Amino acid sequence: MGKGVIIGVIVVAAIIGIGAYAMLAESSEANIRINLSSNNYLNDLDVFVYVDGKLIANDTMKASLTGSAAYLDHTVKFSGNSTTITVKAVSQGGLLGTITDSKQVIVVNGGNYTVNLNV
């Protein structure tokens, strides 16, 4: 019975360790403000915003004689203390066709970042 108890304690400790690691795996996060601008004065644009290839927002930017601007806030969750992310905006519509702008940003846990994209 002594060996069984020791093995049981080891198994329980391993399960707790794996669970704690899984909880910490994506415990880091950073806040990003994504500023979008467009000089498409004549036509509304459908804009799609991606972070690391995942669609996080899509909306219509209305045409304006002074240009259009919008922003959105997004929280990125990641493992480790820092990571590199790619923020991309794609606009469709207007006379210029599809326009894409993207930036890579190195983010650290607890950081606040601003990304400016023109579409």
Asked whether residue 83 is domain-assigned, the answer is yes
Structure confidence at residue 98 (pLDDT): 92
Task: Give the range of the structural domain holding residue 32, as residue numbers without chain letter.
Answer: 28-118
Of the candidates 56, 68, 65, which has an alpha carbon nearest to the alpha carbon of residue 99? 68
Asked whether residue 86 is domain-assigned, the answer is yes
Degrees to nearest 5, angle at CA 92 with 88 and 97? 110
CA dihedral 53, 88, 81, 72 (to 10 degrees): -110
Asked whether residue 72 is domain-assigned, the answer is yes
Structure confidence at residue 63 (pLDDT): 83
Structure confidence at residue 39 (pLDDT): 84
**CATH number where 32 lies:** 2.60.40.10
- At 94, is the secondary structure helix, strand, or coil? coil
Chunk the chain into consecutive blocks of 10 residues (it has 119) and report each block's average pLDDT, rounded to whole numbers: 60 59 69 93 91 95 84 95 97 86 97 97
**pTM score of the predicted model:** 0.76
